[in-house]
Structure 1
Amino acid sequence: MDLLHKAVTLVMCTLTSFGSFAANERTVTDEKGMFTITGTPQRVVALEYSFVDALASVGVSPVGVADDKDVNRILKSIRNQVEPWTSVGMRPQPSLEVISQLKPDLIIADVQRHSPAYDDLSKIAPTLILKSRGENYQENLDAAMKIGVVLNKEQEMKSRIEEHKLMMAEYKTKFASSDTMQFAVATEKGMWLHGPESYAGSVLTSLGIKSPIPNETERAYLEISLEQLLKTNPDWLLIAPYSEATIADTWKKSPLFNLLNAQNQQHVVNVSPQVWSLNRGMHAAEQIAQDLSELLSK
């Protein structure tokens, strides 16, 4: 009977262990199909800024980040919530060697930037590949939720997203203006309008802000000339400068620039590239809303 009892006990323990293992198995749909993971990842490498935002939102510190070798490109509000990380280099081409040395148990990659390296990344650790570059506001929230599930922090992420939505809804009640608002990125060589399908553009739409190009839904980013900007003619023009001197500085010297509604109303304003363009995520969206609150209350 002792042998039988031991055998039964062993079988029951095995079944219990298997049941716990299966219960802890989680599956999400990423850009490659079905991604399944068990356990709780402890060493996460994030290859886009938006993924760091999601990790910080549920109290997870990445061991490695593709931070373009400059930690200050990540929002301070995010850096304050996580431990220091090891840089794995540039987002377009992170160092596989450094990533491997960190011994991650999860890599979060961007489908647009990192698909060519997906197989190599997957040999290092399970690789969750999501849309980041070119995503809109809702797509970012969807990606954050998937990250929460994979991290075994589904409820924490749900709570954070609900908190975020309440905060954004509160901001929205303050924005009753009928003015149109356009966000743009400017370099020395050109200016790109971020349309309603861009991240910043879709955040503005969610806050009830009117776009001067509401029907431009095919492309997220539109490179424009000064003449095309005049046709758009927003009441507000928010510019994120990607260099010390930009084409906007050149355009401002032209008499044509003075024909802009935004210029006539002194509504041409520089904003942070880190907040408005580089760091897509809940922290960034909340800071965008805060910036708008300050601008529209003046």
Structure 2
Amino acid sequence: MVTVQKRFVSLFVCFALLLSLVPSFTATAAAKAVNVTVDGKKLTANVSPQTVNGRTFVPYRAIAEAIGATVKFDSKTNRATITKGKQTVELTVGSKTAKINGSSAKLDAAPLNVKGTLLVPLRFVGESLGVWVTWKASTSTAALETKKTIKHSLGSTTLNSVPKRAVVLFNGAVDISVLLEVKPVGAVESYIQQPFYEYIRPKLKGTKTLGDETQPNLEAIAALKPDVIIATKVRHEKIHAQLKSIAPTIVTEDLSDWQDNLQIQAQIFNKEEIAAEFLAEWKAKVADFKRKLPAKDKGAAISIIRFNPDGSARAYNAGFAYKIFKELGFSTPKQQLATGQEFITVSSLEQVSLLDGDYIFDFTTDWDGDGAVLQHQKKWTTSDLWKNLNAVKKDKYYKVNSVTWNLSGGAMAADLLLDDLYFHFDLE
């Protein structure tokens, strides 16, 4: 009995000591202060910004007033109402649900009341007040900007708030918008699977279609009253003047450079954290693929092709899929390089050797939906000349998804393409 009592006393003392440590740890974690700047000027407030349980909380009233908003606080309901122009935000201490213009919005963490000052998660400041927020870890500074100038292929464009009504005029940017959790008010329709590609369609309910990306409907764009238009040079340079007369317009340089396009859109929409996380995961996935790839396949010559409705075929030495293969360390077939062309037209079966490689990936699309191009594909791929190709003899010819390999051109499509390569190279 004495032994049992001693053990109980010892256990109780240990538990008491453990409890005594908890408040000290919490206080230490909550005491880490951070700086906030608004358009380069340091913000001063009665309560300093601070990091609590890994999240940065900032004084909402001080920030709101610094950018010209008005704040009212009802001490009975612990509710703050913030108004800036046509934007109204309602917050309640202890609640993770806020309202922005009457619509519910979720917060990462509930607002805190510290010495009478309302502190909110940093990310919510940008989402609710339309300002850009950049976290600078080296100085523990949250930099807020009420305007942002975006440099692009046809100049530079200044935005006065984070856009809420975006129009997107090429398919890769539509994919990226979905990744960044931005629903455009209008977007060009997909080349097939209209109105939008099936893999992103559920996230685009309510988005208006604006015609083909090669010829978007300008009247429909204007009717939507967008606050930003995202275009791309090869498709929209000729109508740039008309577009920017409708709304601030940002024009990307390369339709197929999904990583650059992702970073540009992340800047526009204040979503750089999502983009950075995706790109970090992408780089890790690319490194994993290259590490797992057998020595016999490293640097393999990859032929990327499609068959056309006019009876010809095409090999790609540029474009979306080509860029990904180059990043993975693959090479281009020598006979294709010798042409000096980025897009090689093969007009007859007698030239079919131009399509050969160690691997052939074919993203032929049934554009017209009548099956004619598939009949043409079948005619070529059942011929003796085709069967004599190196990749075909080694059973390394693959038909792949035309949407995620070619037509979309966005970040999510890139990830799906890489998933396909894990399968085709037996790396799963």
Q: TM-score, normalised by structure 2?
A: 0.59
Pairing partner for 2:281 from 163, 168, 177: 163
**Residues 305 and 355, structure 2, Cα contact 8 Å, conserved in 1:** no
Tell me which amino acid in the other structure corresponds to 1:122.
K
Q: 66-75 or 172-181: which moved more?
A: 66-75
**Residues 183 and 238, structure 1, Cα contact 8 Å, conserved in 2:** yes
Q: Looking at CA atoms only, which structure, 1 or 2, has the larger radius of gyration? A: 2
Tell me which amino acid in the other structure corresponds to 1:168.
V
| 1:194 Cα offset (Å) | 1.1
Q: 44-53 or 174-183: which moved more?
A: 174-183
Given the alignment of the two structures, is residue 204 of structure 1 paired with residue 328 of structure 2, yes or no?
no
Percentage of identical aligned residues: 25
Tell me which amino acid in the other structure corresponds to 1:147.
Q
Q: Aligned residue for 1:10?
A: none
Q: 220-229 or 180-189: which moved more?
A: 220-229
Given the alignment of the two structures, is residue 175 of structure 1 paired with residue 293 of structure 2, yes or no?
yes
Residues 47-86 of structure 1, C-alpha deviation per residue, up to 9 Å, x if partnerless?
A: 1011112211211011111115865474433334444411
Cα pair distance change 1:230/1:69, threshold 3 Å: closer
Q: Aligned residue for 1:122?
A: 244
**Residues 156 and 250, structure 2, Cα contact 8 Å, conserved in 1:** no
Q: Aligned residue for 1:5?
A: none
| 1:223 Cα offset (Å) | 1.2
**Residues 64 and 87, structure 1, Cα contact 8 Å, conserved in 2:** yes
Q: 41-50 or 251-260: which moved more?
A: 251-260
Tell me which amino acid in the other structure corresponds to 1:27.
T
Cα pair distance change 1:217/1:284, threshold 3 Å: farther
| 1:227 Cα offset (Å) | 3.8
**Residues 365 and 402, structure 2, Cα contact 8 Å, conserved in 1:** yes
Q: 1:202 and 1:267 mapped to 2: Cα distance?
A: 20
Q: 1:252 and 1:110 mapped to 2: Cα distance?
A: 35
Residues 249-282 of structure 1, C-alpha deviation per residue, up to 9 Å, x if partnerless?
A: 2223432112101221222221111111111122
**SS of 1:55's equivalent?**
helix
- Equivalent residues, number: 281
- Ranked by relative contact order (alpha carbons within 8 Å, sequence separation 6 or more), the top structure is 1
Cα pair distance change 1:165/1:38, threshold 3 Å: farther
**Residues 48 and 132, structure 1, Cα contact 8 Å, conserved in 2:** no
Pairing partner for 1:275 from 404, 414, 417: 404
Residues 181-222 of structure 1, C-alpha deviation per residue, up to 9 Å, x if partnerless?
A: 211121232211111x32211101212333324846964321
Tell me which amino acid in the other structure corresponds to 1:146.
I
Q: Aligned residue for 1:266?
A: 395
Q: 1:48 and 1:207 mapped to 2: Cα distance?
A: 25
RMSD between superposed Cα atoms in Å: 2.9
Unaligned runs of 5+ in 1: 1-12
Tell me which amino acid in the other structure corresponds to 2:207.
W
Pairing partner for 1:150 from 268, 271, 274: 268
Residues 93-120 of structure 1, C-alpha deviation per residue, up to 9 Å, x if partnerless?
A: 1111111121111111121111121111
Q: Aligned residue for 1:287?
A: 416
Cα pair distance change 1:41/1:200, threshold 3 Å: same
**SS of 2:282's equivalent?**
helix
**SS of 2:363's equivalent?**
strand
**Residues 175 and 208, structure 1, Cα contact 8 Å, conserved in 2:** no
Unaligned runs of 5+ in 2: 1-62, 69-130, 133-143
Cα pair distance change 1:153/1:252, threshold 3 Å: closer
Q: Aligned residue for 2:165?
A: 43
Counting helix residues as a fraction of each chain, which structure ranks higher? 1
Q: Aligned residue for 2:26?
A: none
Write out aligned runs for 1:1-298 (5 A): 16-17=66-67, 23-68=145-190, 72=194, 74-133=196-255, 135=256, 139-176=257-294, 177-178=297-298, 179-189=300-310, 190-195=312-317, 197-213=318-334, 215=337, 219-225=341-347, 226-231=349-354, 233-243=356-366, 244-246=371-373, 247-297=376-426
Q: 60-69 or 141-150: which moved more?
A: 60-69
| 1:87 Cα offset (Å) | 0.5
Residues 231-264 of structure 1, C-alpha deviation per residue, up to 9 Å, x if partnerless?
A: 5531221111122343432223432112101221
Q: Aligned residue for 2:127?
A: none
Cα pair distance change 1:62/1:191, threshold 3 Å: same
Cα pair distance change 1:275/1:26, threshold 3 Å: same
Q: Which runs of 4+ in 1 moved over 6 A?
A: none
Q: 2:260 and 2:157 mapped to 1: Cα distance?
A: 15
Q: 2:260 and 2:388 mapped to 1: Cα distance?
A: 41
Q: TM-score, normalised by structure 1?
A: 0.83
